[in-house]
Amino acid sequence: MRKPTPPAPVKAEPKLPPPPEVVLPSGSKQEQWDALVQLVQEDPVCQTSIRPGKKIVVGVGDLESEVFFCGEAPGAEEEVKGEPFVGPAGQLLDKMMAATGMQRESIYIGNIMNWRPRIPTEEGHEQLGNRPPTAEEMAYCLPYLKAQLEIVKPKVIVALGASAAKGLLGADRFKALGEIRGQWQEFSGVPVMVTYHPSYILRNQSHRSKRAIWEDLLLVMEKLELPISDKQRNYFLSRS
């Protein structure tokens, strides 16, 4: 009787080199940001981690912004355009910001990751779905995020989702996002508010989930000393 063919060994993911050391040049914020973008675009790990025809993604926005919205990684729309939060979750984030009185042009948005984490995909086909970045992937890209923070110097970071929170605060800080959501944390000396990713609302349209994120944003507005009306304080408390 013929013995069954043993399964082919699973190839281990190649290990990444140590995270890069990023030293910003002297100059204006715009000059520093332009130099940083060039560093990221020329990074060999970033270049080899994107699929053919896709783009490396760096943060965008007002370099004088007091708030830095931080996500985990680009998705399908983002790696095509080369800009964070341009898909459905980004459109919802725009609405959330508008409700606070902030506009996309007046804030800074970035991701910990500069590329979309890959999922094995048949050659010639588009990747379907996303996966959370690994701790190693986030650690590699973190110096580029820190450099953006050094340039922008925000008063507040808003961490959007569990992966972003783990990348900033450490994976051992919590098991479920609800454990630290709505509580002030700190990263590189900057206060961090952890909240749900906008995609959570896209999956869960209840007033309760919307109110949870909104309460976190109210805390951010208070920290930034933004005016808050009674109407804003009562958003999503009822269906009226």
CATH 3.40.470.10 describes domain 29-117+130-233 = yes
Choose the weakest-confidence range: 8-17, 36-45, 109-118, 225-234: 8-17
Q: What band does 96 get if pLDDT is binned at 50, 70 and 90? A: very high
pLDDT at 11 over 80: no
Q: What percent of the chain has pLDDT over 90?
A: 82
Please state the domain extents for the chain: 29-117+130-233
How many whole angstroms separate alpha carbon 55 and alpha carbon 106?
Answer: 24
Mean pLDDT, rounded, for 110-125: 93
* 3 state SS for 86-149: CCHHHHHHHHHHHHHCCCHHHCEEEECCCCCCCCCCCCCCCCCCCCCCCHHHHHHHHHHHHHHH
Q: Please tell me the distance from the alpha carbon of residue 58 to that of residue 89, in angstroms, as a whole number.
A: 17
pLDDT at 60: 97
- 149 CA to centre of own chain: 13
Mean pLDDT of 67-72: 97
CB 45 within 8 A of CB 140: yes
Average pLDDT over residues 55-65: 98
CB 87 within 8 A of CB 77: yes
Q: What is the pLDDT of residue 205?
A: 85
Residue 191: the pLDDT is: 98
Which residues pair with residue 70 across a beta bridge?
110, 159
Mean pLDDT value across the chain? 92
CA distances from residue 60 to 64, 218, 221 in whole angstroms, order as listed:
12, 23, 21
Q: What is the pLDDT of residues 17-35, one digit of tens each?
A: 999 999 999 999 999 999 9
